[in-house]
């Protein structure tokens, strides 16, 4: 089956998928490309969002959570989403926290990007930073396992490096345990650096 992952810019949600593709050994089965146009992405994803996975003769898949689950099945399952129930829901819970952190970070970015003629609304920014801080506090208390990679550890690593990239939240002084965790993650999975975002 011919497949194509549509990405645009340094999307942290897209990075979760590109890293998983490499980690799972699926690079020879999935091409990675930018959408040809807005109409192109809308034709496959009515939300016009990336990542979107195009599959020959089948419906496109979105968002990153669905794509990651599909990638896991392509790799015969139980690779990044554990089959055993307790481990599975622990990983999915961590992934949901990481996605929530990323969504809040993106909203902070969008506040400046899409309202350049207005002063950023500080209560809104603090509301989003509060979500980030609370999510990171939980993940710092029980960080995802690094050796047995899951959607939870992939999500957290992408969230931390996206905040380093866009600087929506200075997480490092507040969460030194996560600084160590991210260093260990990069040491344990050197291909992660190949997917690092850039403008």
Is the confidence at residue 111, as pLDDT, over 90? no
pLDDT for 117 equals: 76
Instruction: Choose among 58, 68, 63: nearest CA to 23.
Output: 68
pLDDT for 132 equals: 98
Distances from the Cα of 130 to the Cαs of 104, 127, 160, in angstroms? 9, 5, 15
pLDDT for 120 equals: 80
pLDDT for 2 equals: 82
Buried b (16+ CB within 10 A) or exposed e, 153-176: bbbbbbbbbbbbbbebbebeeebe
N-term to C-term CA, the chain: 32
Ordered domains of the chain (ranges, CATH): 3-74 (3.40.30.10), 85-193 (1.20.1050.10)
Is the confidence at residue 114, as pLDDT, over 80? no
Burial class (CB in 10 A: 0-12, 13-18, 19+), 17: buried
Count of alpha carbons within 13 Å of 39, Cβ hemisphere only? 0
The pLDDT tens digits for 19-58 are 999 999 999 999 999 998 889 999 999 999 999 999 999 9
pLDDT for 179 equals: 98
Would you report the helix, strand and coil content of the chain in percent, each value rounded to 5? Answer: 55, 10, 35
Instruction: Choose among 70, 64, 32, 68: nearest CA to 49.
Output: 64
Residue 118: band (very low, low, confident or very high) from pLDDT cuts 50, 70, 90:
confident
Compute the mean pLDDT over every residue in the chain, rounded to the nearest whole number.
Answer: 95
Cα 37 to Cα 34: distance, rounded to the nearest angstrom: 8
The pLDDT tens digits for 78-100 are 999 999 999 999 999 999 999 99
Is the confidence at residue 113, as pLDDT, over 90? no
Residue 1: band (very low, low, confident or very high) from pLDDT cuts 50, 70, 90:
low
């Amino acid at each position: 089956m011919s497949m194509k992952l549509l990405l645009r810019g340094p999307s942290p949600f897209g990075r979760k998928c590109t890293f998983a593709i490499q980690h799972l050994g699926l690079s020879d089965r999935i091409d990675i490309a930018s959408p040809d146009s807005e109409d192109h992405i809308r034709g496959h994803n009515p939300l016009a969002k990336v990542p979107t996975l195009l599959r020959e003769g089948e419906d496109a898949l979105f968002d990153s959570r669905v794509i990651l689950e599909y990638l896991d099945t392509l790799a015969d399952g139980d690779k990044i989403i554990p089959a055993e129930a307790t481990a599975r829901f622990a990983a999915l819970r961590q992934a949901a926290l990481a996605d929530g952190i990323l969504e809040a970070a993106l909203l902070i970015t969008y506040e400046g990007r899409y309202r350049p003629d207005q002063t950023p609304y500080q209560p809104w920014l603090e509301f989003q930073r509060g979500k980030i801080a609370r999510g990171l506090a939980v993940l710092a208390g029980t960080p995802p396992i690094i050796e047995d990679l899951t959607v939870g550890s992939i999500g957290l690593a992408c969230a931390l490096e996206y905040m380093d990239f866009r600087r929506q939240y200075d997480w490092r002084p507040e969460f030194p345990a996560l600084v160590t965790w991210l260093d260990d993650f990069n040491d344990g999975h050197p291909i992660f650096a190949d997917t690092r975002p850039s403008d």
